[in-house]
């Protein structure tokens, strides 16, 4: 298994819809193993293929939950069905997200509290479970990456302006930027 560099906001693969996986082969399973290794090195709870420069509809997760779902797994070609997202402003203490591709930053975002997650594992076998609370948030966050969105694209104006100001300050928004988990300092201080 190999730790892969994590792309940073501005890399084109992060901002376009990923393509469907059509072949479930050893190459796919190697990518999935590398994604798990990368996520572990980055202290992440999830990682989508576009975050490692691969424009395919795959994400992995590692999140202990009480939802009768595995604590870690992979979703290939996933589909999410969500409960309604509350219309209230996000709580700046309780609803804060971060992203390995917007490293070191955290902003509040309102998400659905329930998600049905369907897709396939790395061998093409069906996966189907329900996620609630923070686990549902993780599923939505990773799924967004497959549609070319980062959580900062969903922020309310006040936080979106802060995020874009921080991106500019960090020199992000251009192709070719990445960081290496396990080599570069952990941007979230784990």
pLDDT in tens, the chain (190 residues): 899 999 999 999 999 999 999 999 999 999 999 999 999 999 999 999 999 999 999 999 999 999 999 999 999 999 999 999 998 999 999 999 999 999 999 999 999 999 999 999 999 999 999 999 999 999 999 999 999 999 999 999 999 999 999 999 999 999 999 999 999 999 998 8
**pTM tops 0.95:** yes
Q: Is 142 a catalytic residue?
A: yes
Is 106 annotated as a binding-site member?
no
Is 15 annotated as a binding-site member?
no
CA gap 71, 119 in Å, rounded? 16
Is 141 annotated as a binding-site member?
yes
The DSSP 8-state label assigned to residue 37 in this structure reads: H
Set 11, 37, 97, 142: catalytic member: 142
């Amino acid at each position: 298994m190999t730790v892969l560099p994590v792309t940073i906001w501005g890399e084109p693969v992060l901002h376009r819809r990923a393509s469907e996986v059509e072949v479930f082969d050893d190459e796919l399973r190697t990518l999935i193993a590398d994604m798990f290794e990368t996520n572990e090195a980055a202290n992440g709870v999830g990682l989508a293929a576009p975050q490692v420069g691969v424009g395919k509809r795959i994400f992995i997760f590692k999140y202990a939950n009480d939802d009768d779902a595995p604590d870690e797994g992979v979703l290939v070609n996933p589909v999410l069905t969500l409960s309604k997202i509350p219309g209230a402003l996000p709580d700046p203490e309780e609803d804060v997200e971060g992203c390995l591709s917007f490293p070191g930053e955290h902003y509040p975002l309102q998400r659905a509290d329930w998600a049905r997650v369907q897709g396939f594992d790395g061998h093409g076998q069906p996966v189907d479970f329900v996620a609630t609370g923070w686990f549902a948030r993780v599923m939505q966050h990773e799924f967004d990456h497959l549609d070319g969105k980062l959580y900062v694209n969903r922020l309310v104006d006040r936080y979106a302006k802060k995020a874009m100001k921080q991106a500019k300050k960090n020199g992000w928004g251009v192709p070719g930027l990445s960081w290496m988990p396990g080599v570069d300092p952990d941007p979230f201080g784990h």
